[in-house]
């Protein structure tokens, strides 16, 4: 046995919240694919993949730690893991005939949720005296790397391949 207190409502909130975020990842991938741009689709897919693998691992570990039943942990991981591919299919079905501008808005919405989750996650670190400077440097560095990558894609013409 173990001697700590479990808070199922907190665990449920975290798993449901991460699964809703995973739905927006599916929206982003599906909308990117519907634009017909291979570069955009691959870019969005890779962005989702890079954070989805550690997130899935975290959901599994968190759930195994917080849940009393193994079956509940498996349900948590399945719900999180299936949310993105299910939403890709739903996006194809619901947004298949919309304009490119609307698809762009869907991608922006999904990107905004990613930035919100990332910001909320890092804010406590930024305000903590011991980790604040390092966390801020990491956030700014990440933003600068993304700007540099976009500039390189534009300057080399790679971004124009989808037109």
Structural contact between residues 55 and 18, judged by C-beta atoms closer than 8 angstroms: yes
**Which phi and psi angles does 96 have, rounded to 5°?**
-60, -25
Q: How much is the pLDDT for 7?
A: 52
Residue 114 CB burial class (10 angstroms; 0-12, 13-18, ≥19): middle
* Predicted local confidence at residue 154, as pLDDT: 76
Helix (H), strand (E) at residue 102: helix 100-127
Tell me what pLDDT residue 160 has.
61
Give pLDDT < 70 ranges for the chain: 1-9, 121-128, 159-163
Q: Is pTM, for the whole model, over 0.85?
A: no
pLDDT of residue 84: 96
pLDDT at 97: 92
Rounded CA-CA distance 108/12 in Å is: 27
The CA distance from 150 to 82, in Å, is: 30
């Amino acid at each position: 046995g173990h001697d700590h207190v479990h808070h199922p409502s907190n665990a449920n909130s975290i798993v449901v919240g991460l699964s809703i975020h995973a739905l927006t990842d599916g929206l982003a991938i599906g909308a990117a694919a519907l634009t017909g741009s291979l570069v955009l689709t691959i870019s969005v897919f890779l962005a989702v993949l890079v954070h989805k693998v550690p997130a899935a691992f975290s959901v599994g570990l968190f759930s195994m730690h917080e849940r009393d039943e193994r079956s509940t942990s498996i349900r948590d991981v399945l719900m999180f893991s299936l949310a993105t591919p299910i939403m890709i299919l739903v996006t194809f079905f619901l947004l298949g005939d919309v304009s490119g501008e609307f698809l762009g808005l869907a991608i922006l919405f999904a990107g905004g949720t990613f930035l919100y989750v990332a910001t909320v996650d890092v804010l406590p670190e930024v305000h903590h005296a011991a980790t604040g400077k390092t966390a801020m440097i990491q956030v700014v560095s990440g933003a600068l790397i993304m700007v540099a990558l976009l500039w390189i894609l534009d300057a080399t013409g790679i971004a124009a391949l989808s037109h």
